C-alpha cells in the first residue's frame, strides 16, 4: 500500500494507474477507521477499483465549540486496518498541504446545507464540500464512496458533484451497525458505557418506525415521527431532530415512499449522534 503525503504524489500515482486502465475509487475519511469505512473500501475493491483512501481531519468542518482538537486520531492503527482491507494507497496530507495560509475559497451547496444537521452545525457542510471538492480535484477519481450513515452529507455531495460538473460517480453504501445496533461512527468512542446504552434509543426508534412501515403498512409520516419521538423522549437524551424527508431535496414529506428517509440526531451528554432509515 502506497502512503502519500503530497498532492503531487497522488497525481503521479493516479496518472500511472489510469494509464494502466485502472478505475480509480476514492474513499475520503477523517481516520479513526471503523467497520463503516472498511465497508466503503470493500465496495470499491469489489467494484474492481484501484482504491485510494484519504485521512484528513478537516478543520473547516468543525465549529468553534466542536471537537476538532479532541477528534480521535490513530494513524498507526488506521494504516494497519487499511493494509488488511487491501487499500491500494492512502493520502495523509498535513493541514499545510491541504490549505495554504491564505485560503479564501469555499464551496457551499445552499438550502440543503441549512436544514437538519446544518441548523445545529452552521458552516459544517461548506467545510465538508470545500474539502471534498479539493480532494476530488487532487485525486480525480472515477468513483467516490460515501456511507448512508451521513445521509445529508451524501445528498449534498451528490448535488455538488452534479451542480459543478465533477466527472465522478458518487456511490452510496449502506450503514454498518455495531452488534447492539448503534450505527458505526468514529465518535462512538466518546460514549461511556452508560451513555452508550442511552444512545441506542435512536436506532431503536428507527427500528420501530421501520417495523411499522414494513409490517403494519403505516406510511403516514407524522404518525411514524410521533412514535419515534415518543420512544426517544422516554430516554435521558436530548432529541435534536427526527424528520421524514425527500432524499433529493431534504423537504419534509407527509407520506413515506421510495426515496424518502427518516433522519434523526440526538445528544447524549456532550456527544451528538446521527442515524437514519433510508427508503431507497
Binding positions for ligand PAF, rule: CB under 6 A: 28-30, 58, 61, 128, 131-132, 150, 153
From the candidates 34, 37, 103, 124, give the one annotated as an active-site residue: 37
The minimum distance between CB 227 and ligand PAF, in angstroms, equals: 29
Q: Using the 8-state DSSP alphabet, how is residue 190 labeled?
A: G
16 vs 122 by CB, closer to ligand PAF: 122
Q: Among 198, 251, 261, which Cα is nearest to 225's?
A: 261
52 vs 244 by CB, closer to ligand PAF: 52
Give the H or E element holding residue 279: strand 271-279
The minimum distance between CB 124 and ligand PAF, in angstroms, equals: 9
The minimum distance between CB 23 and ligand PAF, in angstroms, equals: 20
Locate cell 494502466: which residue? Answer: 20
The minimum distance between CB 67 and ligand PAF, in angstroms, equals: 13
The minimum distance between CB 29 and ligand PAF, in angstroms, equals: 5
160 vs 256 by CB, closer to ligand PAF: 160
What's the CA gap between 179 and 177, in Å, rounded?
6
Q: Report helix, strand or coil for 9.
A: helix
225 vs 265 by CB, closer to ligand PAF: 265
Residue 191: CB atoms within 10 A of its CB come to: 19
What's the CA gap between 252 and 221, in Å, rounded?
9
223 phi/psi in degrees, rounded to 5: -65, -45
Burial of 47 (0-12, 13-18, 19+ CB in 10 A): middle
37 is catalytic: yes
265 DSSP β-pair partners = 241, 274
150 vs 243 by CB, closer to ligand PAF: 150
Active site residues: 37
Amino acid at each position: 500500500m502506497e502512503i502519500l503525503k503530497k498532492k503531487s504524489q497522488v497525481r503521479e500515482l493516479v496518472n500511472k494507474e489510469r494509464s494502466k486502465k485502472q478505475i480509480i475509487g476514492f474513499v475520503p475519511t477523517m481516520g479513526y477507521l471503523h467497520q463503516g469505512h472498511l465497508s466503503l473500501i470493500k465496495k470499491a475493491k469489489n467494484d474492481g477499483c484501484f482504491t485510494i483512501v484519504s485521512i484528513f481531519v478537516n478543520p473547516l468542518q468543525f465549529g468553534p465549540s466542536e471537537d476538532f482538537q479532541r477528534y480521535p486520531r490513530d494513524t498507526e492503527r488506521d494504516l494497519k486496518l487499511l493494509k488488511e482491507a487491501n487499500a491500494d494507497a492512502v493520502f495523509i496530507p498535513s493541514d499545510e498541504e491541504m490549505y495554504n495560509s491564505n485560503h479564501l475559497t469555499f464551496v457551499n451547496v445552499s438550502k440543503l446545507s441549512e436544514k437538519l444537521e446544518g441548523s445545529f452545525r452552521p458552516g459544517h457542510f461548506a467545510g465538508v464540500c470545500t474539502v471534498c471538492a479539493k480532494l476530488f480535484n487532487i485525486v480525480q477519481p472515477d468513483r467516490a464512496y460515501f456511507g448512508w450513515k451521513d445521509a445529508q452529507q451524501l445528498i449534498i455531495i451528490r448535488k455538488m458533484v452534479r451542480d459543478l460538473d465533477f466527472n465522478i460517480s458518487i456511490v452510496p453504501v449502506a450503514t454498518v451497525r455495531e452488534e447492539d445496533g448503534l450505527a458505526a461512527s468514529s465518535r462512538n468512542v466518546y460514549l461511556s458505557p452508560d451513555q452508550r446504552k442511552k444512545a441506542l434509543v435512536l436506532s431503536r426508534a428507527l427500528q420501530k418506525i421501520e417495523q411499522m412501515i414494513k409490517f403494519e403498512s403505516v406510511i403516514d409520516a407524522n404518525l411514524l415521527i410521533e412514535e419515534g419521538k415518543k420512544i426517544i423522549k422516554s430516554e435521558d437524551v436530548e432529541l435534536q431532530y427526527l424528520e421524514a424527508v425527500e432524499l433529493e431535496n431534504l423537504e419534509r414529506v407527509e407520506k413515506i415512499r421510495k426515496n424518502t428517509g427518516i433522519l434523526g440526531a440526538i445528544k447524549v451528554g456532550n456527544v451528538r449522534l446521527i442515524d437514519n432509515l433510508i427508503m431507497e
